[in-house]
Amino acid sequence: MTTATNEILVLGGTGKIGRRLVRTLRAAGRRVRAASRSGEVRFDWAQPTTWQLAVAEASAVYLLAPEDPALADDFVSRAVKAGVGRFVALSGRGIDRIGEDFAPGMLAAEQAVRDSGAEWTIIRPNNFNQNFDEDLWRQPLVEGRLALPMGATPEPFIDAQDIADVAAALLTSDGHHGQVYELSGPRALTFGSAVAMIAEAAGRSIRYLELTPEEYRAELLAQGHSEATATALNAMFAGMRAGYLAEPTDTVRRILGRDPIDFGTYAAEAAARGMWS
């Protein structure tokens, strides 16, 4: 790594992965710049004037991809010119097979770091456990009904803390340049099984309902989501149904020397915090 300050810039520093990564790095004594539109360091993809201040003292960057794929290469180029020598880019498992309808920004960020001339590692995790209590699926679960077009294909959900711990290791240790790591939890569960575990942990009735892709699109649009979002989510579920994400990997254990957090452990802890009450 090439700069003297050895600060680590974490984009999305207030998000599901970012805030955990910031905490993990600081607990290890690392100097961290937590950047977001509302974070300690202001960073806004829509305002390139914020980019330079964010990267000014960084030697490594945790890259949370922009939605607009046109921005990734520009940012990475500016960061390298500012002295960044290492990138860890968050992508998604199956991104190379699902296609550009799902997350073109992630694909662009992957290519940008590959072409940067700096050290790079790409992490491609499965769906996060925390999607059930912090994001996409929490409100439907609170309302007692999660309906998705998933079928019976299982998913080895991964905990956000495991992703953060892996990212911290990659940002601060050598030997990972040029690697693409697929990250998963320890076992694959169907969505129906996952919802049943959440219901049991929360001590209440929650049901899982299977939708067709067309029904799912209609529900998303009725909820106010855009056509682009509906297309992207349906593309993601098509890849999941095809089994591209279904097999657990041993990457978390290989990098961290411990097993990833089990979904049952996650569900019990989230339920104890009243996340689905």
**Exposed e or buried b per residue across 172-186, where buried means at least 16 C-beta atoms within 10 angstroms of its C-beta:** beeebeeeebbbbbb
Q: Domain extents for the chain? A: 7-128+159-185+247-261
Q: What is the mean pLDDT of the chain?
A: 94
CB 247 within 8 A of CB 240: no
3-class SS of residue 7: strand
Tens-digit pLDDT profile for residues 13-48 = 999 999 999 999 999 999 999 999 988 899 999 999
How far out from the chain centre does Cα 198 lie?
21
pLDDT of 104: 87
CA distances to 76, 113, 227, 250 from 64, rounded to whole Å, are 11, 12, 23, 23
Collapsing DSSP to helix, strand or coil, 223 comes out as coil
pLDDT in tens, 38-82: 888 999 999 999 999 999 989 999 999 999 999 999 999 999 999
Say yes or no to pLDDT of 101 above 90.
no
HSE on the CB side for 251, CA within 13 Å? 26
pTM of the model: 0.94
Is 253:236 a contact under the CB 8 Å cutoff? Answer: no
Domain 7-128+159-185+247-261 has CATH 1.20.120.530: no
Mapped to the 3 state alphabet, what secondary structure does 112-150 carry?
HHHCCCCEEEEEEECCEHHHHCCCCCHHHHHCCEEEECC
Give the integer Cα–Cα distance in Å for 139 and 94. 26
